[in-house]
């Protein structure tokens, strides 16, 4: 991908030098997790860890993925640290990655500010290992996620190495897809799709997973809409679209289940299969029109 370093985004919050201290108002035990609809949206790599844990412990994967009804949110205290400058122990390679995610963040939000009237920009929080969020306690093991409560995207940059090594999806466009997908969740919050989906889940809990899948596929399509814009501006290089598609396929529920348990269980999907995710990304990329991303039929 052709990109020009522009320094740090004004919407980037660097917490790599901070140390969160967690206090739990309820005991952590079997199946304890973020309350349904309150915690960060698990995304990409984090689901592998949780599915594998559920399989090893004999738990219902949905209990870990969806959260426990009635549990209170975790309280988090965040220690002091750098919010604007380089994080503690930051390498030159990590600083270059900071500039890259800043570019993608600003570019994607510039596109959405033209497509959504009154679009409020999201913040991107870069952290190490764990941090407090408006949705509870967030960990790097969850993978990148969006918290609708504070309208921030959270990412531990170490995930990108996991994306390359464990998921077999290298390349800067694969990394950009990840961030564009999470910004897509912010677009859903802004346009009212995300709260409408939550209400649909409450009314129809038997089909809660299907609503979640539709939300994720729309975010994939929105990532494709942004990629279409970069293509129109001649920012894509040969193989970039394939990199993004490879990343989308690598994090399909079927692929992740094969990696973590060795079997595929469609009834437990929350994000969609590899085929579904790549198809919706391509739909947004070929169209460039958010109206073609209506995965709900609303």
The token pair that represents 228 in the structure block: 């279409």
Tokens linked to 272:
């969609």
54 in a domain, yes or no? yes
Backbone angles phi, psi at 168, to 5 degrees: 65, 35
What lies within 8 Å, CB to CB, of 96 at 6+ separation is 5
Q: Is residue 283 part of a domain?
A: yes
Asked if residue 89 has pLDDT above 90, the reply is: no
pLDDT for 41: 53
Question: In which band, very low, low, confident or very high, does the pLDDT at 93 lie, cut at 50, 70 and 90?
Answer: confident
Question: What is the pLDDT averaged over residues 234-261?
Answer: 96
- How far apart (Å, rounded) are the C-alpha atoms in residues 45 and 205? 25
**Letter string b/e over residues 30-50, b meaning 16 or more CB atoms within 10 A of that residue's CB:** ebebbbbbbbbbbbbbbbbbb
State the chain's mean pLDDT as an integer. 83
Q: Is residue 103 part of a domain?
A: yes
Is residue 5 situated within a structural domain?
no
Model confidence band, residue 74 (pLDDT cutoffs 50, 70, 90):
very low
d(CA 237, CA 1): 5
pLDDT class for 36, splitting at 50, 70, 90?
Answer: very low
Alpha carbons 73 and 167: distance in angstroms, whole number: 31
Q: Whole-angstrom Cα distance, residue 150 to residue 39? A: 11
pLDDT band at residue 35 under the 50/70/90 scheme: very low
pTM, whole model, 2 decimals? 0.81
- Residue 47 vs residue 248, higher pLDDT: 248
Number of domains, the chain: 1
Is the pLDDT assigned to residue 82 strictly greater than 60? no
pLDDT of residue 18: 81
Find the mean pLDDT for residues 161-188: 96
Residue 161 belongs to some domain of the structure: yes
In a domain, 164, yes or no: yes
Q: Are strands 152-156 and 123-127 parallel, antiparallel or unpaired?
A: parallel
| pLDDT value for 55 | 43
Structural domain of residue 89, as residue ranges?
A: 12-292
Dihedrals phi, psi of 292, to nearest 5 degrees: -85, 5
Neighbours of 267 (CB within 10 A): 6
- The arithmetic mean of pLDDT across residues 238-249, rounded, is 97
Q: Is residue 224 part of a domain?
A: yes
Residue 47 within a domain: yes
Q: Which helix (H) or strand (E) holds 147?
A: strand 145-147
Average pLDDT over residues 268-295: 98
What is the pLDDT, as a whole number, of residue 229?
98
């Amino acid at each position: 991908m052709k990109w020009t370093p522009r320094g740090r985004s004004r919407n980037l919050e660097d917490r790599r030098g901070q140390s969160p201290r967690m206090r739990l108002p309820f005991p952590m035990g079997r199946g304890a997790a973020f309350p349904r609809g309150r915690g960060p949206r698990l995304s990409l790599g984090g689901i592998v860890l949780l599915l594998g844990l559920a399989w090893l412990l004999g738990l219902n994967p949905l209990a870990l993925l969806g959260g426990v009804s009635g549990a209170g949110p975790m309280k988090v205290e965040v220690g002091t640290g750098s919010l604007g400058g380089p994080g503690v122990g930051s390498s030159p390679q990590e600083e270059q990655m900071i500039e890259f995610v800043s570019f993608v963040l600003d570019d994607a939000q510039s596109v959405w500010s033209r497509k959504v009237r009154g679009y409020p920009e999201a913040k991107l929080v870069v952290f190490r290992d764990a941090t407090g969020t408006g949705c509870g306690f967030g960990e790097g093991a969850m993978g990148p996620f969006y918290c609708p409560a504070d309208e921030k995207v959270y990412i531990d940059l170490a995930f990108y190495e996991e994306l390359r090594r464990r998921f077999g999806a290298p390349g800067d466009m694969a990394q950009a897809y990840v961030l564009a997908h999470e910004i897509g969740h912010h677009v859903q919050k802004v346009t009212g799709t995300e709260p409408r989906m939550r209400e649909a889940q409450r009314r129809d809990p038997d089909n809660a997973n299907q609503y979640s899948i539709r939300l994720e596929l729309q975010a994939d399509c929105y990532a494709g809409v942004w990629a279409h814009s970069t293509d129109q501006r001649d920012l894509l290089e040969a193989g970039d679209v394939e990199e993004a598609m490879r990343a989308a396929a690598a994090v399909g529920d079927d692929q992740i289940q094969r990696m973590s348990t060795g079997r595929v269980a469609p009834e437990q999907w929350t994000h969609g299969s590899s085929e579904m995710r790549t198809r919706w990304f391509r739909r947004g990329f070929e169209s460039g029109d958010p109206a073609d991303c209506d995965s709900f039929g609303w």
